[in-house]
Amino acid sequence: MNCKVIDLGIIDYKEAYALQQKYAKEVLDGSDQVLILCEHPTVLTMGRLAKESNVLYSKDKLKEIGVDVLGIDRGGDVTLHAKGQLVAYPILNLANYGKDLRKYLFKLEQVVIDLLSDFDIVANRLSGKTGAWVGDKKIASIGIGVRKWVSIHGLALNVNTDLNHFAMINPCGLNVSMTSVSQVLGRDIEINEVKQVLIDCFCSQFGMKKGQ
């Protein structure tokens, strides 16, 4: 199977969501599956199970610093997106993968674990929690949505994200510390260093090759 990779660079969250919907319809109609890569300006998104109490800044404070809070149709609680975080939105027909959401989440986690291994970072899963973890710190968050077995939303890996932003929330509803690739390595690393590795790990995990 071919996977069309689309790099949107830095893009507003709502614009990226509209594109996800567009490509999801195309995949449902039989087009090649799609992997969208991007970064977002700082925004908080609230999944279907999100609790407002997990947003720690007041509405006035968020307005003052220009951070929107958006309710979205993925699983999970509150998530922060910001520059320096590599976001991947796989638009896949999960009929090709047994229509198994647990298996799909497992594969997304494995993409991150394999990617980080390429940078000599040991990441793991934590029982009962989604995402990828380095020790007891979370480095990647995962939240998905599915319509007619076509996936939207996906994963967010902190590459060189300003981790101070996470003071706004309990990430994914948890009292947890976040980390980043840069913090773990102790050096600056650019998003572009990570993108191709993510593409390779993704295509390997899902049995696809990069298309045009």
Q: How confident is the prediction along the chain (212 residues), in pLDDT tens digits per residue? A: 889 999 999 999 999 999 999 999 999 999 999 999 999 999 999 988 889 999 999 999 999 999 999 999 888 889 999 999 999 999 999 999 999 999 999 999 999 999 999 999 999 999 888 999 999 999 999 999 999 999 999 999 999 999 999 999 988 777 889 999 999 999 999 999 999 999 999 999 999 887 65
* 172 carries an active-site annotation: yes
* C-alpha to C-alpha distance for 20 and 48, rounded to whole angstroms: 18
Q: Name which of 72, 73, 137, 151 is nearest 107 in CA terms.
A: 151
Does residue 141 contact residue 74 with C-beta atoms inside 8 Å? no
* C-alpha to C-alpha distance for 134 and 178, rounded to whole angstroms: 9
**101 domain residue, yes or no:** yes
**188 domain residue, yes or no:** yes
pLDDT of residue 140: 97
- 34: domain range? 2-207
Q: Name which of 172, 176, 156 is nearest 40 in CA terms.
A: 156
**58 domain residue, yes or no:** yes
* C-alpha to C-alpha distance for 111 and 193, rounded to whole angstroms: 16
pLDDT of residue 48: 87
pLDDT of residue 77: 87
pLDDT of residue 212: 57
Helix (H, G, I), strand (E, B) or coil at 69: strand
**191 domain residue, yes or no:** yes
pLDDT of residue 209: 83
Does residue 86 contact residue 156 with C-beta atoms inside 8 Å? yes
Domain with residue 98: its CATH number is 3.30.930.10
**212 domain residue, yes or no:** no
**102 domain residue, yes or no:** yes
pLDDT of residue 199: 96
Q: Which is catalytic among the residues 3, 38, 172, 201?
A: 172
**pTM (2 d.p.):** 0.94
pLDDT of residue 160: 97
Helix axis angle, 191-205 relative to 101-118, nearest 10°? 130
**52 domain residue, yes or no:** yes
**171 domain residue, yes or no:** yes
Number of domains in the chain: 1
